[in-house]
Chain A
Amino acid sequence: MSIWQYANPARFMRTTEGVLPWLVGGAVICCVTGLVWGFLTPDDFRQGSTVKIVFLHVPAAMMAINIWVMMLVASLIWIIRRHHVSALAAKAAAPIGAVMTVIALATGAIWGQPMWGSWWEWDPRLTSFLILFLFYVGYIALWSAVEDPDSAADLTGVLCLVGSVFALLSRYAVLFCNQGLHQGASLSVQSGERMSHVYRYPLYLAMLGFFLMFLALVLIRTRTEIRRRRLAALQAREMRA
């Protein structure tokens, strides 16, 4: 059987019920281990103890982008195959993505202040994240604003599609215009890039932990949405009876 069997809400609920405890456990273990391990690693020569922020900043930033991609895929599945579980999963993922973006922006700013002397720079990466946050907020707002659930799913799906194209476009526009104007204070410490082994493994663990945490949260939220939908259907039936 294929993944499409989970388009059936009842089957989705049954399977996720079994899987969730493992996901939650795995997320907690990986996050706690990764973050504590990272916290205990020795300070970086140049960055001092602020390097510890990387264990929050990088996983959050990665998830912020990956969650939007997941929403894009889920929206496409809804538009093409009309599986409600898919549309509800996209709706469920958005707040998580928005929080991840805020964490990435906040930890980035807090890290940037002692390191590069300013809370904010309009360099490509930071700007792209700010725009991504705006797209998340708009997406969430649209879901709340439209009354009919199926129409809301359609409209937010189209918005996600168009927004994805423009998010990419914005990134390249900023990249283009920032070249040569100033050697941007862009965060050059990326995962893996010139990172010593000491930091690499706790970072990978933290990234895995954030990913599992996202999976657990999005599944719980999707279950909530499915329950809400069932409730609405029951209430509608009662009103008619």
Chain B
Amino acid sequence: MIDLGRYAIPVLSAYAVSLVLIGGLVWHTVAANARARRALEEHGRDG
């Protein structure tokens, strides 16, 4: 790991927070879409 010096904790926590939030957003987006598509397919129509 490159040397982050004494600011290692702030930098890493900033990245961690952002990645967790973005990851959560992406996961929720994809999961909701998959659910909607599945429900629509069960009704017989998608597209």
Q: Tell whether, in the assembled complex, residue B47 and residue A221 are in contact, meaning their CB atoms are under 8 Å apart.
A: no
Nearest A residue to B39 via CB reads: A231
Bound CA span A202–B29, Å: 27
Cα A188 to Cα B25 in complex, Å, equals: 29
| CB pair B29 A217 closer than 8 Å | yes
Q: Are B33 and A220 in contact (CB under 8 A)?
A: yes
Q: Is A224 an interface residue (CB 8 A)?
A: yes
Q: In the assembly, what is the distance between CA of A30 and CA of B16, in Å?
A: 19
Q: Is the CB of A56 within 8 A of B14?
A: yes
What is the CA–CA distance of A219 and B45 in the complex, to the nearest angstrom? Answer: 20
Interface majority SS (helix, strand, loop, mixed), chain A? helix
**A53 proximity list for chain B (CB < 8 A):** 10-11, 14-15
Do A234 and B45 touch (CB < 8 A)?
yes
**Which residue of B15, B33, B37 is within 8 Å of A221 (Cβ)?**
B33
**Complex Cα–Cα for A230 and B47 (A):** 10
**Number of residues from A at the complex interface, CB < 8 A:** 37
Q: Is A84 an interface residue (CB 8 A)?
A: no
Give the chain A neighbours of B6 by CB distance below 8 A: 48
- Tell me whether B17 and A49 are in contact (CB under 8 A): no
A residues less than 8 Å from B8 (CB atoms): 49
Asked, given contacts A114-B7, A217-B29, whether A231 binds B2 with beta carbons under 8 Å apart, the answer is no
Query: Chain A contacts of B13 at CB under 8 A?
Result: 110
Chain A residues closer than 8 Å to B45, beta-carbon distance: 230, 234
Q: Chain B, 12-34, contact with A by CB distance < 8 Å: what is the 0/1 string?
A: 01110110011011101110110
Given A56-B15, A106-B17, A107-B17: A50 and B32 within 8 A (CB)?
A: no
The 5 closest A-B pairs by CB, nearest first: A227-B36, A49-B4, A224-B33, A110-B14, A49-B7
Enumerate 6 A-B pairs (CB-CB under 8 Å) in ascending A order: A95-B25, A96-B25, A102-B21, A111-B14, A114-B7, A227-B37
